[in-house]
Structure 1
Amino acid sequence: MAEDVAMTELDKQIVRALQGEFPLVAEPYKALADSIGISEELFLERIRVLEAEHKIRKMGAVLRHREVGFASNVLVAWQVEPPERLDEVAAKMAKSPSVSHCYDRNTAPDWPYNLYTMVHGHSREECEAIVERLSEETGVTKRAMLYSQKEWKKTSMRYFTD
């Protein structure tokens, strides 16, 4: 476990810069570093340190799926049995380009599902075909499909804001 050291003001500035719009330029990290008045080298070094200290876990893009043509999405709750297969099944499902999220969850007496995937498609029929293919590839047949009715929020967590 990394030593618990408080975030410096510079590190907070870097995190704030990283959680904004990513510049679509040839040298995006240089542009981000310039925006807070430091060198690209220092910016990248601090990111490496924050990762090593487990203060930054991941960086990734947020796809606004409806704006790029994916009109349908479904949260699929899977019942993976035996539970020891969970890692193997999750690894296969996570490789699908149609799956944006894949994570395990605890079960409950009236809810036996232990793996969740978010599947995106251009139509409900396409989503159902993707889910059927995932089922065939993994041998997991017990599932509940929960289609989105309305999107309430499409933002990521924001840290060190005013």
Structure 2
Amino acid sequence: MKISDLDREIINFIQGDIPLEPRPFLSLAQSLNLSEDEIITRIRHWQERGIIRRFATILAHYRAGFTANAMVAWKVEAEDADQVGMIMASYDQASHCYLRDVPEEFGYNFFTMIHAGSDEQMERLVEDMAWQTGVKDYIIIRSVRELKKVSMEYEL
């Protein structure tokens, strides 16, 4: 896809913090001498073509009260990974779900990032995930402090 300067302006805008207002594309449209519909049409076109995968709200989970956050590392058999992944990804509290290549001696090859309101909720949630999937070998690696959290912005 050849990216025009106009497309670049729109893409840079939607990668940032979109204004929380009824017409978030109005100021952009005015600055580019376009209509809001033209901007929205371009964005929809990129979504339909798979260039933009999704629009999402990114929650500042600590500020929202999700103070118990952990990466849970699971030992999952390769042949079970897709089924386990579907189950674990269905939990609203799981923001990330990854199957990874890991050193054989480590063995924990499936990772979920879990967010809960308390350590007790976290424990219950992880126990439920283990029960639902049949995966009993896991370690909970709790977050102590958030050092960096940003959305990716791609240089075009």
Q: What TM-score comes out, normalization by structure 2 length?
A: 0.87
1:40 to 36, 39, 46: 36
Query: Which residue of structure 2 lines up, in the alignment, with residue 138 of structure 1?
Result: 133
CA distance in 1, matches of 2:6, 2:120: 49
Distance 1:72 1:35 in 2: 42
| Stretches of structure 2 lacking an aligned partner (at least 5 in a row) | none
Aligned CA distance change for structure 1 residues 134 and 37 (closer, same or farther; 3 Å): farther
2:111 partner SS: strand
- Extract unaligned runs of 5+ from structure 1: none
| Count, aligned residues | 156
Identity rate, percent: 37
- The 3-state SS of whatever aligns with 2:83 is helix
Alignment RMSD: 2.0
1:56 aligned residue: 52
Q: Give the C-alpha shift of residue 67 in structure 1.
A: 0.5
Following the alignment from structure 2 to structure 1, what is the Cα–Cα distance between the partners of residues 85 and 28?
A: 35
1:36 CA displacement: 4.1
**Which residue does the alignment assign to 2:21?**
25
**Cα 1:108/1:25, change in 2 over 3 Å:** same
Match of 2:148 in 1: 153
Once residues 54 and 22 of structure 2 are traced to their aligned partners in structure 1, the CA distance between those partners, rounded to angstroms, is 22
Q: Paired residue for 2:4? A: 8
